[in-house]
Structure 1
Amino acid sequence: VRTGIWRVLDIASHLVLPTLTLGLIFLAIYLRIMRASMLEVLNLDFVRTARAKGLDETRIVTRHVLRNALLPMVTLIGLQAGTMLGGSVVVETVFSLPGLGRLAYESVVQRDLNTLLGIVFVSALLVISVNFITDLLYARLDPRITAES
């Protein structure tokens, strides 16, 4: 029986495939939106101004273009957090993992409403937390966004 750090590494190694499966579902969408957003920002005036000032192209892309192109990505990731919870049911079933998605499915089948209400509550809290973090990231990436009314 493995204990300590070896157990943690063993569990982490068994979570690689389920994590990749759940993450790769949206990867193509994220890459397409990021590409379109980067191409759009590359043609804006402030990027031309930065080039005219003689800034290094790497610095222009990382500091100016990427920061502005990340805004649609952050929004999309925040919106799809709930979708990932729904997709976890399939991933947990395929990989035989115990999780909230599988527990929710079994609660529906067994008509265990109290457990189902708890899962819906935890899921709602998770979605609210992700949306809050998304708002904080948005304010961090775009200084024009403030908390003022």
Structure 2
Amino acid sequence: MQLDATDRHILRLLQEDASRPNAALADAVGVSPGACWRRIERLEGAGVIKGREVRIDPRALGFEVQVFLRVTLDKTAPNAFDAFIAEARRIPYVQSIETLLGRVDIRMDVIARDLTHYQQIYQERILALPHIADIEALMLVSELKNTGALAI
């Protein structure tokens, strides 16, 4: 899909604040509200805009610990990836699961209320996942940048 300067401007502003009213967005990019709405609908229809979401700070709800797990699977087992991912998706404290190429097969983000809670999740839920050959845990100390925004 070809994007012009106005489309890119709309996308930049929506990345900053997806709740911005259409009239304010239209005014900021210099088009009518109707034209702005049609552009947004076109961008959504083309799959450029996948949705708008509410981002909740886990720490505000008492989740003080975030751990990144790097998992290597036993790939000699048939359907190791599928079985692992199906079970990992069932753990509510697993925030994301990504498959990778390289030495590590899976990266997962896990949140917990505190270290004791993390240890419980790790021992009871993570280590029970099928086909784990190796696992490495990296605890988040500080987050210096976290953006899903694209340089448009």
Q: Which band: TM-score by shorter chain?
A: under 0.3
TM-score normalised by structure 2 residue count:
0.23
- 1 or 2 for the larger relative contact order (CA 8 Å, sep ≥6)? 2
Q: Which has the higher strand share?
A: 2
More helix by share: 1
